[in-house]
């Protein structure tokens, strides 16, 4: 419960000042995080995605964005603060990372499904 509040509070404050709901704010961040949208590699709801198939030395290879909607917040946070293979470095603030995490959890629950 604590952790939910911890995540929601700053987002709702942010959202209030710009007249959008927390879900709208975090959804737009997921799609346009000052860089390539997360959904392009991780899917609309962070369910993971096959981005490309290619051949390397006659071997079929896949470029896959792993699912990111079932990991805990610490793992999520850490992943966004280290260099990842195949993923751009974003330099997001802590609040933005929380918003992204919030978005994926809400999507998974099915709430805010109407937010595009």
| 76 near ligand HEC (CB under 6 A) | yes
Interface residue with ligand HEC among 14, 20, 79, 115 (CB under 6 A) is 79
| 86 near ligand HEC (CB under 6 A) | yes
- 30 with 37: CB under 8 angstroms? yes
| 45 near ligand HEC (CB under 6 A) | no
Question: One symbol per residue from 21 to 40: x for binding ligand HEC (CB under 6 A), - otherwise; what is it?
Answer: ------------x--x-x-x
The b/e string for 91-100 (b: 16+ C-beta within 10 A; e otherwise) is ebeeebbbbb
Tokens standing for residue 104: 């994926």
């Amino acid at each position: 419960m604590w952790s939910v509040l911890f995540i929601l509070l700053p987002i709702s404050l942010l959202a209030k000042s710009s007249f959008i709901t927390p879900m709208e704010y975090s959804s737009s961040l997921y799609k346009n995080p000052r860089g390539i949208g997360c959904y392009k590699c991780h899917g609309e709801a962070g369910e993971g995605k096959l981005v490309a198939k290619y051949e390397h030395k006659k071997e079929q290879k896949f470029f896959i964005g792993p699912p990111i909607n079932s990991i805990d917040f610490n793992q999520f946070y850490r992943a966004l603060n280290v260099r990842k293979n195949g993923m751009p470095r974003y330099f997001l603030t802590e609040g933005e990372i929380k918003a992204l995490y919030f978005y994926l959890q809400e999507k998974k629950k099915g709430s805010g499904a109407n937010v595009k």
